[in-house]
């Protein structure tokens, strides 16, 4: 976190908290990315300093220089003394941590359990309770693995394999639960969040294709570790906004060899995992790297990794571009079938993820904005949506569930899928106060 004077506010900065109460403002949300000069003027008229989060900012303000103005540091200390609540907690209803508070999670789970005639909602709640601690354990194991890789040490393959087995089992029982957690249990670190997303999507496709047992587990482990070699690349290159130089492109591509080098230090590392990691940037038409392999030379497990990796990367904000919406990302990749990607595999991937998977932000035809909570396996375009914003884009304070297949919602449809962060909504907002 960083405290800056309001005179230095810029479009793209993520505001965590001002030095005056949020109740003095008329903003619909507490904590959001500045998108207009008028918002800056409003802060300037009410307060002198604000707390910002560079890791959640966008455009030029994302992950800016770590150098901190000494005057800002002094002012931060003064603010902490004058208003200690800044150091202890986030603004009301807007926690600083990446996941929503336990009380809000329980409120959602209780809401699901109260849907007495909705067996799917009840099953979703039960599976979330079961898989959530296992998901968190795998996140922790993966973080440790990346830290050890950065120090050029080995990894605990057994822990990762066990965690992948838990994810695979959950996807078979109730894929909606894991897709929901995937949207909520982020740690605000692209490397870890991306690895978890790729693993879940690779397992989802593998399971859809009928994979079971060891092949599926090794696919999931390979997805978690495919970019571990990027720990050896300078962050300045990974986060660069401008076009990369030819030398920097080579450094980026060298992460494949770096990943293999790190993993080969582990005795008896499975060959299939190494091969998938070695080839996940190869492409169907031979335009990939490092060897320019084509068609069946690539191998199905590596093709799955490459497809999941490309798809998940498009869904996230990066320093050099904003996130793409789920539907648009799927359409872009579908247009590359038979070129960059195996056409049959691409069609299977589109079928298993669907246009509006759980956790996708959507805008309905009546103007309401919500998040897909439950899939409708028969009518995939008419899921159940948890409404977050009313038609006039005001924040709701209690749950409203729209079942788009119900008779009373027959006039409604999904107008469009939205990228993450649309209307300043984050994963925190999926749990209403």
Give the residue extent of every domain in the chain: 2-88, 102-353, 361-430
Mean pLDDT of the chain: 81
**140 CB-near residues (< 8 Å, 6+ apart):** none
Which DSSP state fits 18? E
pLDDT tens digits for range 334-354: 889 999 999 999 999 988 888
Q: Identify the band that residue 101 occupies on the pLDDT scale cut at 50, 70 and 90.
A: low
Residue 426 to residue 183: CA distance in whole angstroms: 9
Q: Identify the band that residue 233 occupies on the pLDDT scale cut at 50, 70 and 90.
A: confident
Residue 39 to residue 372: CA distance in whole angstroms: 29
Residue 5 to residue 234: CA distance in whole angstroms: 30
Question: Residue 67 corresponds to which tokens in the numbers above?
Answer: 């150098």
pLDDT tens digits for range 159-183: 899 999 999 999 999 988 998 888 7
Is 80 exceeded by the pLDDT of residue 155?
Answer: no
Question: Residue 65 corresponds to which tokens in the numbers above?
Answer: 């220089």
* DSSP string for 268-301: T--HHHHHHHHHTT--TTS--SSS---GGGS-HH
Residue 234 to residue 242: CA distance in whole angstroms: 15
339 upstream amide cis, omega within 30 of 0? no
Q: Identify the band that residue 267 occupies on the pLDDT scale cut at 50, 70 and 90.
A: low
* DSSP string for 114-150: T-TT-HHHHHHHHHHHHHHHHHHHHHHHHHHHHHHHH
pLDDT at 399: 78
Residue 62 to residue 100: CA distance in whole angstroms: 23
**385 CB-near residues (< 8 Å, 6+ apart):** 362, 364, 370, 371, 372, 373, 401, 402, 404, 414
Is 60 exceeded by the pLDDT of residue 93?
Answer: no
Question: Residue 218 corresponds to which tokens in the numbers above?
Answer: 């090794």
Element (H, E) at 192: helix 190-208
Greatest mean pLDDT among 96-100, 112-116, 257-261, 421-425: 257-261
Q: Which of 188, 1, 187 is nearest to 86 (CA)?
A: 1
How far lies 38's CA from each of 34, 45, 192, in Å? 9, 11, 35
Is 50 exceeded by the pLDDT of residue 385?
Answer: yes
Element (H, E) at 371: strand 369-374
pLDDT at 425: 82
Long-range contacts at 157-165 (CB < 8 A, ≥ 24 apart)? 157/221, 157/266, 157/269, 160/221, 160/224, 160/225, 161/217, 161/221, 163/134, 163/137, 163/138, 164/138, 164/199, 164/203, 164/217, 164/220, 164/221, 164/224, 165/217
Is 60 exceeded by the pLDDT of residue 79?
Answer: no
pTM for the structure as a whole: 0.71
How far lies 153's CA from each of 146, 223, 257, in Å? 9, 19, 16
Q: To 10 degrees, what angle do helices 190-208 and 175-184 make?
A: 170
Query: Which stretches of 4-118 are DSSP H helices?
Result: 37-46, 70-82, 85-88, 102-113
Q: Identify the band that residue 360 occupies on the pLDDT scale cut at 50, 70 and 90.
A: confident
pLDDT at 344: 94
What integer is the mean pLDDT of 88-92? 31
pLDDT at 66: 42
Question: Residue 110 corresponds to which tokens in the numbers above?
Answer: 């209780």
Is 70 exceeded by the pLDDT of residue 84?
Answer: no
**3-class secondary-structure state, position 85:** helix
Cβ–Cβ contacts within 10 Å for residue 14, how many? 21
pLDDT at 63: 62
Rounded to 5°, the CA angle 208-128-182 comes to 60
Q: Which residue has the higher pLDDT, 33 or 71?
A: 33
pLDDT tens digits for range 28-39: 666 777 878 888
CATH number of 102-353: 1.10.3210.10
Output the furthest CA–CA distance in the chain (Å, rounded).
65
Is 80 exceeded by the pLDDT of residue 65?
Answer: no
Question: Residue 75 corresponds to which tokens in the numbers above?
Answer: 């002012």
Question: Residue 161 corresponds to which tokens in the numbers above?
Answer: 């394999």
Q: Which residue has the higher pLDDT, 86 or 186?
A: 186
Residues 75/77/81/87 CA torsion (nearest 10 deg): 110
pLDDT at 23: 76
pLDDT at 427: 67
Residue 360 to residue 311: CA distance in whole angstroms: 14
Is 50 exceeded by the pLDDT of residue 91?
Answer: no
Cβ–Cβ contacts within 10 Å for residue 360, how many? 25
């Amino acid at each position: 976190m960083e405290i800056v004077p309001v005179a230095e506010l810029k479009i793209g900065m993520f505001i965590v908290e001002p030095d005056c109460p949020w109740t003095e403002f008329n903003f619909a949300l507490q904590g959001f990315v500045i998108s207009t000069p008028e918002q800056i003027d409003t802060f300037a008229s009410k307060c002198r300093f604000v707390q910002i989060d560079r890791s959640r900012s966008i455009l030029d303000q994302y992950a800016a220089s770590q150098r901190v103005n000494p005057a800002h540091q002094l002012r931060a200390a003064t603010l902490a003394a004058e208003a200690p609540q800044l150091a202890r907690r986030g603004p009301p209803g807007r926690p600083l941590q990446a996941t929503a508070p336990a009380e809000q999670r329980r409120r959602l789970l209780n809401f699901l359990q109260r849907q007495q005639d909705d067996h799917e909602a009840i099953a979703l709640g039960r599976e979330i309770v079961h898989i959530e601690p296992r998901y968190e354990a795998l996140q922790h194991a993966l973080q440790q693995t990346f830290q050890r890789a950065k120090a050029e040490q080995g990894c605990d393959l057994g822990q990762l394999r066990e965690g992948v087995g838990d994810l695979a089992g959950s996807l078979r029982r109730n894929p909606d639960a894991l897709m929901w957690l995937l949207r909520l249990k982020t740690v605000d670190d692209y490397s870890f969040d991306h690895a978890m997303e790729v693993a879940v999507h690779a397992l989802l496709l593998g399971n859809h294709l009928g994979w079971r047992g060891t092949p599926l587990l090794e696919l999931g482990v390979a997805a978690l570790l495919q970019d571990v070699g990027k720990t050896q690349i300078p962050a300045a290159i990974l986060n660069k906004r401008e076009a990369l130089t030819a030398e920097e492109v080579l450094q980026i591509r060298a992460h494949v060899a770096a990943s293999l080098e790190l993993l080969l230090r582990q005795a008896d590392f499975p060959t299939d995992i190494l091969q998938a990691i070695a080839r996940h940037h190869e492409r169907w038409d031979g335009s990939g790297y490092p060897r320019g392999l084509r068609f069946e030379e690539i191998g199905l497990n590596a093709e799955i990794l490459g497809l999941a990796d490309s798809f998940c990367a498009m869904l996230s904000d990066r320093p050099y571009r904003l996130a793409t919406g789920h539907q648009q990302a799927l359409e872009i990749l579908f247009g590359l079938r038979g070129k960059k990607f195996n056409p049959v595999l691409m069609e299977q991937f589109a079928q298993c993820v669907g246009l509006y998977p759980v956790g996708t932000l959507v805008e309905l035809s009546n103007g309401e904005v919500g998040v897909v909570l439950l899939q409708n396996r028969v009518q995939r375009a008419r899921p159940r949506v948890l409404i977050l914003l009313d038609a006039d884009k005001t924040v709701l304070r209690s749950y409203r569930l729209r079942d788009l297949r119900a008779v009373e919602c027959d006039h409604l449809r999904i107008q469009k899928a939205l990228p993450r962060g649309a209307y300043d909504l984050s994963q925190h907002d999926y749990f209403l106060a």
